[in-house]
Homo-oligomer: A and B are copies of this chain.
Amino acid sequence: MGTPERIREVARRIAARREEVDGLAVVVSAMGGETDRLIGLAREVNPNLPSREYDVLLSSGEQVSAALLAMSLEEMGVKARSFLSFQLPVFTDGKHSAALIKDFGAERLREAFARGEVAVVAGFQGINQEGDITTLGRGGSDTTAVAMAAALQADMCEIYTDVEGVYTCDPGICAEARKLQQISYDEMMELAVLGAKVLHTRCVEMAKRFGVNLLVRSSFNNEEGTMVCKEGDEVEGALIAGVTYTRGEAKISVLRVPDTPGVVYRIFAPLAEMGINVDMIIQNISRDNYTDVTFTVPEEDLDAAVKAVETLARQIGADGVLYERDIAKVSIVGDGMKTHPGVASRMFGALAEEGINIIMISTSEIKISCVIDARYTELAVRVLHDAFELGAAEQS
């Protein structure tokens, strides 16, 4: 909701939806640009952004949206009422800027439904046991929506985004990308972790925990969207749901690490203390009581990480440290992997056929990720999309 005009459009859409549905509750996020404006003001008065007051400040953005949307609905003759966290209440644990919802009060929403009102709930925020405002961090408003749907035992939670749904891969680099009708919670979570930006992991996790059906759809049109729900038991479920990729990582190798108990902990503890997020970790089998340890970190943390690891390498008697920028991770995700062997070899084969070297591999029950040279990212995605027959042509 970037502008008053957009707010009116959203209100019109809700008004139409209200015709079909009894008991409609809407979660809003801040108007486009508003959060950045507030952060800008905060930085000017205190660059440290003290977390308690930062949350008080930021939560005003959703408050403004909620009031304006409720007003806009009223203007269209739809009874509506805004709710802030303290009014429901939405209780969180105490952590500012990254709070977890502990309890979502739905009683006042049900009262609003009984009066025929649309409930407009300010997303992204809660209050802790002391009554302080806490914000939920990234994906906050989506998480509010899922928590609300769970508390209301709602039939469905629709998430309005800037895309039409979840795709088999990024349509920006693969013309054959196809919108999925349905995807399981686990698949969606893996996709979210692996770079699909449509939903935050957290919100999918919560939807899974409470069995909330999530419909991801566009806020700009009425296309059908993608349903995120529990894994279907159809025999003919797709093998692979999608192909995804991330860039902006870098790889560090520590060579000939003496393979003694606790040595890996000694490498990663300082990185954790520095707040550096280590993603893939590969430890090759030990040879003569030495092993190579390779891992990836966000590219912007590479210099700091290398410095720390080089010091460590000397202390533990490793041979040295190598690093590489410009790597990418391509992944395939699908519940079907659990029951269909041979998926990995099909992936490796497809990449090999194009001469794409695989630098690292990591797998889970429903995903396989390969680190490759970043310059082959788009090619790899398209090749894998073809190899697993995810394209629109194959499905029609």
Contacts and interface: CB of A to CB of B under 8 A. Distances in A.
A32 interface: no
Interface in A111-141: 131-133
Nearest to A60: B60
B71 A84 contact: no
A93 interface: no
B45 A8 contact: yes
A342 interface: no
Interface in A31-50: 38, 41-42, 44-50
Nearest to A40: B4
Contacts of A63: 56-57, 59-60, 63
B68 A42 contact: yes
B4 A41 contact: yes
A87 B52 CA distance: 14
A144 to B, nearest CB: 17
Interface stretch (A74-82, A257-265, A318-326): A74-82
Contact of A7 (B45, B47, B74, B75): B45
Contacts of A7: 45
A295 interface: no
Contacts of A48: 74-75
Given A53-B82, A67-B54, A86-B86, A72 B60 contact: no
B54 A71 contact: yes
A211 to B, nearest CB: 31
Given A56-B84, A74-B53, A64 B45 contact: no
A200 B149 CA distance: 46
A229 interface: no
A250 interface: no
A120 to B, nearest CB: 9
Contact of A11 (B45, B47, B56, B81): B45
Contacts of A54: 67, 71
A330 interface: no
Nearest to A132: B87
A267 interface: no
A48 B71 CA distance: 9
B84 A68 contact: no
A16 B41 CA distance: 23
A23 B48 CA distance: 25
Contacts of A52: 81-82
A1 to B, nearest CB: 10
Given A56-B66, A64-B60, A81-B52, A72 B45 contact: yes
B68 A41 contact: yes
B46 A74 contact: yes
Contacts of A347: none
A15 to B, nearest CB: 13
A70 interface: yes
Contacts of A56: 63, 66-67, 70, 82, 84
9 contacts: A8-B44, A45-B68, A45-B71, A45-B72, A53-B68, A56-B82, A56-B84, A84-B133, A87-B131
Given A4-B41, A4-B45, 16 more contacts: A7-B45, A42-B67, A45-B72, A46-B71, A46-B74, A47-B75, A50-B70, A50-B74, A53-B70, A53-B74, A53-B82, A56-B82, A56-B84, A63-B63, A84-B133, A87-B131
Question: Which 7 pairs between the two chains have the least Cβ-Cβ distance?
Answer: A4-B44, A57-B67, A46-B75, A45-B72, A56-B67, A46-B71, A60-B60
